[in-house]
Amino acid sequence: MALIRLDKFLSNAGIGSRSQVRDYIKFRRVWVDGVACVKADTKIDIKKNIVTFDKRVVSYEEYVYIILNKPKGVISATEDDKEKTVVDLLDEKYKKMKVFPVGRLDKDTVGLLILSNDGRFAHNTLSPKKHIKKSYYAHINGKITEEHIKKFEEGLVINGGYKCLPAKLSIEYSADNFSKVHIIIKEGKYHQIKRMFEAFGKKVVYLKRTSFDDITLDETLEEGQYRLANDEEMKIIEKFIKK
C-alpha cells in the first residue's frame, strides 16, 4: 500500500510547491473522497483515495529520482541490443517505473548520473538554455598550463567549429605527460570535455562527473551503486520541477 502525505501528493502531482499546496489545503480547495480535507499531513493511499483540487480529480504519477555512481562500460540509455545500459543496473521495481537517464555520460565516463521517470525534470535541466553547471574531474595525457586555463575562460572552439561557453579549468597536478584537472561547464555538447582537450591535441584518459547543478557525487556510493535522492538533493531537484 503506497501511503503519502496529502501536501506531498499534491506537489508531486504538479499542483504547486509544498507551501502553495498547504495554503490550498487550508482554504478548503482540496477534497479527499468527497470531503474537504484541511490537514496537510493526511495520509493518502494513491491507489484508493480520490483527491480533487478545485473540484478536478488530481492524477498522480509516482516520480523517482535516483542518484547513480555510473561505472565504466555501461551506456546512458534505457535499453540496447548489444550494450549494458545504466537502467540494467537498477532493481526491477525502477525498471517498471520507466526510469531513464537524465542526460548522458559516455560509456567510459564514471560518476554522477541522475535517473528519473519525471519528464519535467529532464526537460527543465537538459534544455540548452538552462546552462546547468556540471563539474568533472579528469586525467589528461599531457601537460596542462595557465595558457589552457585562459583558453577555457575565453570560450574554446572545438572540432566542428562550435565556440564553447566560458568554462572553468583548474589544475590539481601537472607534469610533462600527465595532468589531473577539474572542469566546470555550463552546457553539454556531445563528448564536450574530450573535444575541449582535443582542441589542445590532448586526450582525456579518465573522466568522472562530480556534480550536477548543486548535487555532488556521493563518494560513499561505489561505482555501479545507486540510491534515491535524499531530502537535501530533493530540494535541489524540486527547483526544476516547479511549474
Site residues, ligand URA (CB under 6 A):
105-106, 109, 191-194, 207
Q: From CA 24, how far away is CA 240, in angstroms rounded?
A: 21
Q: From CA 96, how far away is CA 62, in angstroms rounded?
A: 12
Smaller CB distance to ligand URA: residue 207 or 237? Answer: 207
Smaller CB distance to ligand URA: residue 65 or 136? Answer: 136
CA triplet 58, 45, 30: central angle to 5 degrees? Answer: 40
CB of 208 to ligand URA, least distance (A): 9
- 218 noted as active-site residue: no
CB of 18 to ligand URA, least distance (A): 33
CB of 206 to ligand URA, least distance (A): 11
C-alpha 64 chain-centroid distance: 11
Smaller CB distance to ligand URA: residue 10 or 207? Answer: 207
User: Pick the catalytic residue: 41, 45, 54, 106?
Assistant: 106
Query: Pairing mode, if any, of strands 168-175 and 162-163?
Result: unpaired
Q: Would you state the torsion angle of the CA atoms of residues 78, 80, 86, 89, taken in this order, to the nearest 10 degrees? A: 110
The residues that are catalytic are 106
